[in-house]
Amino acid sequence: MPLHYTYTPSPLGDLLLAGQGETLSFIGFPEGKARMRHQDVWLPDDKAFREAKQQLRAYFAGELLQFDLPLAPVGTPFQQQVWQALQSIPYGQTRSYGDIAAQVGKPLASRAVGAANGRNPLPIVIPCHRVIGASGSLTGFGGGLEAKSLLLRLEQRHAPFRLES
């Protein structure tokens, strides 16, 4: 069954949304090393992914803290495990690659976590932008470091107040 696709505007430029039915398989950036355009065999459908478009608009407006969408990312079992861990990082917070490696039970695998993070087919919704270097520095991001910085600043600006314990 061929994938359907559409584009939706965002502060990062037009994002590619692709998948089957309302289930997202890909979000593509307009810029950066993970720049992605639709493939010729995919079917254009401007009416596709209405809920995803609505949630992305709300996210960029600072009104949505967590996505609730049907997702179908394709990857290895380890990649799937990392992507699941990424979804547990709270809005407005960050974790290091080492933190995620420890969370998935492979504390020495921070480089492998970085590689899995870089292959995330659903950036923003699976928040790989919330993973930073151990020193707190911004490190690689498929949409480019400027996009990563924009997403983190957006979340920090709209994150709910929380007391540190």
Task: Give tens-digit pLDDT for 107-119.
Answer: 999 999 999 999 9
Closest CA to 18 of 51, 44, 56: 44
Over the chain (165 residues), the average pLDDT of each successive run of 10 is 92 94 92 78 92 97 95 96 96 94 94 93 96 83 85 88 54
Q: Report the helix count and the strand count for the chain, using DSSP H and E.
A: 5, 6
User: Domain ranges in the chain?
Assistant: 4-60, 77-158
In CATH, what is the architecture of 4-60?
2-Layer Sandwich (3.30)
**Which CATH class, in words, describes the domain spanning 77-158?**
mainly alpha
pLDDT at 124: 95
The token pair at 34 is: 């993970």
Separation between Cα atoms, residue 128 and residue 138, nearest integer Å: 12
Catalytic amino acids? 128
